[in-house]
Chain A
Amino acid sequence: MMKPSRLFWKLFLAFWLATSLTFLVGVGILVLGNHGPGDPHLEAILASEEQLLRQFGVESGRQLLTVWRHPGDETIGVYDSAGQLLAGSPVPRPAFERTVISKDGLALSLRSSQPLGKEGEQGPGRSIPLIIGTVMSALFSGYMAYYLAWPLAYLRRAMSDVAKGRFETRVKPMMGGRRDEIVDLAGDCDRMANQLKLLVEAQQHLLHDISHELRSPLTRMQAAIGLLQQEPARQEMVERIQRESVRMDTLIEALLTLARMQGRPESIDREPLDIIELLTVIVEDAQFEAGMKGCRVSLQACPAFVSRVSGELLYRCFENVIRNAVRHTKPMTAVVVSAEVNLEADCLTVRITDQGAGVENERLLSIFHPFERGLSEASAGFGLGLAIASRAVEMHGGTIVARNEPSAGLTVEISLPRQA
């Protein structure tokens, strides 16, 4: 149980005031419609009877009551102290009773079946409905206020947990079987917490991977330095150290590129560009690298496809995918880059197919995550190339998918919508 909140008390008081007022006004109207409390006629008779008993005695009182033609539900009786009826009619359940000392010194009891309307002498019977009404309205108001206020208290606590970094907080299960907007809000709160958790974990994972990737070349440099210290003549170790430092630099540059692409798609600078021309340039560059392992890169292109894009990002995207394909294709094979325009959807589809070993089916999605690399490629690349490509395509509102070819090899398919 939580401590009742301020909201609870506000709602409670508002409901209570509203229901109490409605109730009291209702009762008031009812009472006024009943021509007021008590019957003035009855009052006069009782007052006269009392005077008669005091000044003239029981006999006179009896005469008055005999002549009084009372309505059926109104009776007045005079009893002695033993409870014996002396005058008038019997009053089985007196609503009014007064003790009168008669002229002859007897203590008499004057009883009436109907109450006197005035002077708060109605007895407790009159206020009971009022008390019940007020209590009931308090209970109802309390329930309503609690019903609305407690889920908010839970939500608030959950939010403050999330703000403190406890992302595993879940508030929806605490809502029980309710179904309303508050529960929907709780569900949204849980989803947000989960999303934040995933983001923070991804961030930590990335940091961990980055430090590992930066340390590997550092460790190799340390080993090379150790070997140099053992044998200062080993000049190849100096080249090795240089190579490792270039690797670290490449990695840091790739990381910065990735970081720059974290922004919104609107944030990139676009200019009209022929993507086919861009592909031709990249394929020519890749040709050189491919030639070293006896491979070719062939381009099957369509006529120009001009779109407003960021040339730098798309260059890195295609370069990474094509170089990746060249790295994984078997020696003496060809990497095929094909581009076609889908006129209906007005988008360009580029397929890059290599003749390598492909990837396991369950990793077809994860190869686009940073530092996700195949099991065979121990130290080739940094596992950032496809992540950069994927991010660049996303920034252009396109899609990138990978699939294994039946004849072995991997195809990466990139679709880019035309931006006018």
Chain B
Amino acid sequence: MISVLLVDDDQELTGMLSQYLEREGFEATAVHTGEEGEIQALSGRYSIVVLDVMLPRLSGIEVLRRIRAVSQVPVVLLTARGDNIDKITGLELGADDYVPKPSSPGELVARLRAIMRRVQPADQPTTEVIRTGPLVLWPGKRQAQWQGGELGVTSTEFSLLEELARCAGQVVSKQDLSLNALGCPLTRYDRRIDVHISSIRQKLGPRPDAKAWIQSVRGLGYLLIAE
């Protein structure tokens, strides 16, 4: 059973969402303040956190910043539709996805399932290892090593890195990245892939020749440089 933590100040909404999620086979717990949300999200009891951006006092963005400082637990943001700043800031801070408000609860469940599929791959052989250059990935354990050290990436970032590493040295289209790593088709003006890639780039640092390890190929997609 996947346990979901709902952080939203609208108690009526979380009540209904909990019922919906439970019927869809999730286990849902709701808290209504940012402070409570932070404590619960870091308790390690939840597989995924659904975080409202518009929380009174401690905003959802701030809660996400605090969670990401210590934990890579998957986080889905609930943002106001049309509020691009929240979306981009959230993704940059390491949110795995966002769902605009108002959306149907079905949409939320689809996003949650997509993320959980990435985090707990059903039929992945746990022994598989992907190596390219200084990068080593263990998709089974969702662990990454970079230049000999542990690489802290969110689950979404891991999936993107995995897709790029499997085809290292070749261009992977944004559409493929979106479908395989995010679990949903690319939509117009969708900046999610770009934001996640930029975050991974920062974690990898520059190559000795000052280029980035992940190159963007205009109009085509992204490419991980193979050594």
Q: Identify the A interface with B (CB < 8 A).
A: 211-212, 215-216, 218-227, 229-231, 240, 375, 378-379
Contacts and interface: CB of A to CB of B under 8 A. Distances in A.
B89 interface: no
Given A219-B101, A222-B102, A378 B11 contact: yes
Given A212-B54, A231-B23, A375-B56, A226 B13 contact: no
A225 B11 CA distance: 17
B12 A379 contact: yes
B89 to A, nearest CB: 16
Given A212-B80, A223-B20, 7 more contacts: A219-B101, A219-B102, A222-B103, A222-B104, A222-B105, A226-B106, A379-B10
Contacts of A378: 9-11, 32
Given A225-B104, A227-B20, A378-B32, A219 B13 contact: yes
B188 interface: no
B81 interface: yes
A222 B101 CA distance: 9
Interface in B17-66: 17, 19-20, 23-24, 32, 54, 56-57
A220 B101 CA distance: 10
A231 B81 CA distance: 27
Contacts of B9: 378
Given A223-B105, A378-B32, A216 B13 contact: yes
Contacts of A223: 13, 16-17, 20, 105
Chain A binding surface, main DSSP class: helix
Contacts of A219: 10, 13, 101-103
Nearest to B78: A219
A411 to B, nearest CB: 25
Q: Which of B32, B56, B102, B104 has the most CB of A within 10 A?
A: B102
Given A211-B80, A375-B56, A378-B32, A220 B12 contact: yes
A219 B8 CA distance: 12
B15 to A, nearest CB: 9
Interface of B: 9-13, 16-17, 19-20, 23-24, 32, 54, 56-57, 80-81, 101-106
A248 to B, nearest CB: 12
Nearest to A211: B80
A117 to B, nearest CB: 85
Given A222-B102, A222-B104, A378-B32, A216 B57 contact: no
B98 to A, nearest CB: 14
Nearest to A375: B56
A220 B10 contact: yes
A378 B13 CA distance: 12
Nearest to A244: B12
Given A220-B16, A227-B19, A215 B102 contact: yes
B16 A224 contact: yes
Contacts of B13: 216, 219-220, 223
Nearest to B109: A226
A245 to B, nearest CB: 13
B102 A221 contact: yes
B12 A226 contact: no
Contacts of B16: 220, 223-224, 226-227, 240
B4 to A, nearest CB: 14
Contacts of B104: 222, 225-226
Contacts of B105: 222-223, 226-227
A116 to B, nearest CB: 85
Contacts of B106: 226, 229
Given A222-B104, A379-B12, A215 B23 contact: no
Q: Which of B12, B57, B101, B103 has the most CB of A within 10 A?
A: B12
